[in-house]
Amino acid sequence: MELPRYPAPRLVRYAKYRGNNPREVVLLKGLPCVWSRCSFCDYIDDNTRDTAEIRRVADDELAKVTGEFGRLQVINSGSIQELPIDVQSRIRELLARRGIRDFWTESYWAYRKDYEATRRFFGVETHLFLGVETFDDALRNDVLNKSMHWKSPDEVAQATDSICLLIGFRGQTRDIIRRDIDLLLGKFRYGIVNLFTENRLSDGLLDRDIQAWFREEYAWLEQQPNVDVLWNNTDFGVG
Ligand code: SF4
């Protein structure tokens, strides 16, 4: 059955994030996510096969980047590898031209064999955020349908230094969240912790009680210099 779709909102695609690790943030349009089947993910509604549209958005938004923080985050509702190669090259040129030394972007586990080449491609320190969501294997794969399998969190830490976690979905317990945060702080350089926000897929998946507990128990987390806590999914200023 087709799920009802909300009318496409006009998204904000460029922002200056002044929280931990201040940076410019750009939300581009990308080709469809290679997996596109995570149970909670409505970001992919922004994906398109229209490469002219992808290039038009990239032209408009990348032109706004000044390099003032020396750090840039590019999001494309999927993986960086899902931007056409000429758009990736434009980002690389922009990093060099604006003197940006720190580049943050996202990449799905299926691309892990390419991670090293992707980091080399951009020519500056590049952090590939992997949407782990949780290290509880059953929750990640059976509830969230991430299709991401590994032997242990160490295998993830060997592949990348930056991850995203998701808080507030069905089946998450306090102990599972505590373990996830401990692993983030113990094994990774950067983390983005997203509180699951109501969307067209969240019916039956959203757990407000565990979120309420997290908000109190982990209020201190946003003081951690290497962690961004997104209490709302638009806290970066884009979306
Ligand atoms: S891999 Fe990422 S972009 Fe693709 S469906 Fe899952 S959460 Fe969404």
**Which of 118, 106, 112 has the alpha carbon at shortest distance from 77?**
106
- The per-residue pLDDT for range 105-122, each reduced to its tens digit, is 999 999 999 999 999 999
Is this prediction's pTM over 0.85?
Answer: yes
- Distance of alpha carbon 212 from alpha carbon 206, whole angstroms: 12
Tokens 């003081």 locate to 223
Instruction: Report pLDDT for 5.
Output: 46
Instruction: Report pLDDT for 239.
Output: 85
> Does the C-beta of 44 come closer than 6 Å to ligand 1?
yes
- The per-residue pLDDT for range 156-178, each reduced to its tens digit, is 999 999 999 999 999 999 999 99
Domains and CATH numbers, the chain: 14-230 (3.20.20.70)
Tokens 């758009």 locate to 87
CA of 34 to the centre of ligand 1 (A): 8
For a mutational test of ligand 1's pocket, the pick from 37, 74, 108, 199, i.e. the residue with the most ligand atoms closer than 8 A to its C-beta, is 108
- Distance of alpha carbon 201 from alpha carbon 218, whole angstroms: 26
> Does the C-beta of 27 come closer than 6 Å to ligand 1?
no
